[in-house]
């Protein structure tokens, strides 16, 4: 039996727990998710190293999964635009059963291996694309179909599973096994198995964005200010990075359509917005390198 399906020997009387004990059982079990990701760090680092040159060459990030795993992939993909100005067309997500399955389960969709392959091929994958294949069990047919289609197209495949010897990890170019063990509620991989997958996706996509110069120091300087909160954040980030007062930061941001990178370089180099944009282009988007030119 898969570890993720095996009943926990620690919580055989779970339905008899007090509310406080229930909270403790669920929360304490989540620490194993963090440890599982720590244990997989070398494989996660290998995935990032292999993905960087592909996305630098124009590749996309493509997420494939079913159920909870698929929804986590959708979540990671849609958050990249407001956080890092990553183009939406370069972050695609495939969910077994279609996007409607984000809100309501589509019975049997995850068992359709051929549909997984068709959906992946419909995106016209290229060797520069990076495809994340997510399956807690590690054997979801829809995901395996997409995996084989991606490999056939030469894309980088990163398989993420929560069971040892899982096909999705073994058959991908980079396999990441997150050994989270048994769940408090047997088989409910929306618990710590899902948590571990969320951590891994956050880690990989964020690390890629750092390598693509969308972070200066530890500041998210390539965000897309699509609402009032993000506009205020852009002002604060610019002030923090440059020491400018709010008026100067906002004035410069308004001149460059609230592109934090440009505002930082303009203020620190005492340059015009146009000059700052040129410096950033020469530095391939790196604020640090632009400041050194």
Rounded distance between C-alpha atoms, residue 192 and residue 94, angstroms: 22
110 is catalytic: yes
79 is catalytic: yes
Catalytic residue among 5, 13, 79, 89: 79
Are the C-beta atoms of residues 97 and 54 closer than 8 Å to each other? no
Catalytic residue among 13, 107, 110, 183: 110
Catalytic residue positions? 79, 110
């Amino acid at each position: 039996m898969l570890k993720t399906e095996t009943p926990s020997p620690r919580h055989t009387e779970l339905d008899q727990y007090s509310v406080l004990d229930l909270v403790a059982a669920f929360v304490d079990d989540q620490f194993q998710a963090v440890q599982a990701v720590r244990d997989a760090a070398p494989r996660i680092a290998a995935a990032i190293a292999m993905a960087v040159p592909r996305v630098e060459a124009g590749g996309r990030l493509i997420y494939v999964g079913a159920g909870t795993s698929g929804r986590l992939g959708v979540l990671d993909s849609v958050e990249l635009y407001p956080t890092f100005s990553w183009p939406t067309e370069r972050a695609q997500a495939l969910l077994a059963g279609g996007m409607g399955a984000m809100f309501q389960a589509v019975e049997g969709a995850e068992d359709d291996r051929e549909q997984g392959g068709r959906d992946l091929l419909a995106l016209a994958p290229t060797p520069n694309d990076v495809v994340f294949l997510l399956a807690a069990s590690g054997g979801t047919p829809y995901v395996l179909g997409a995996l084989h289609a991606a490999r056939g197209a030469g894309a980088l495949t990163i398989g993420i599973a929560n069971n040892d010897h899982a096909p999705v990890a073994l058959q991908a170019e980079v396999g990441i096994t997150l050994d989270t063990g048994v769940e408090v509620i047997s088989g409910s991989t929306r618990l710590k198995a899902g948590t571990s997958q969320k951590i891994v996706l956050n880690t990989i996509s964020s690390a890629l964005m750092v390598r693509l110069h969308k972070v200066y120091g530890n500041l998210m300087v390539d965000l897309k200010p699509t609402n009032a909160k993000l506009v205020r954040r852009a002002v604060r980030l610019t002030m923090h990075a440059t020491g400018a007062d709010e008026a100067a930061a906002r004035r410069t941001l308004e001149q460059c359509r609230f592109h934090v990178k440009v505002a930082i370089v303009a203020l620190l180099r005492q340059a015009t917005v146009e000059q700052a944009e040129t410096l950033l282009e020469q530095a391939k988007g790196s604020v640090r390198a632009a400041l050194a030119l």
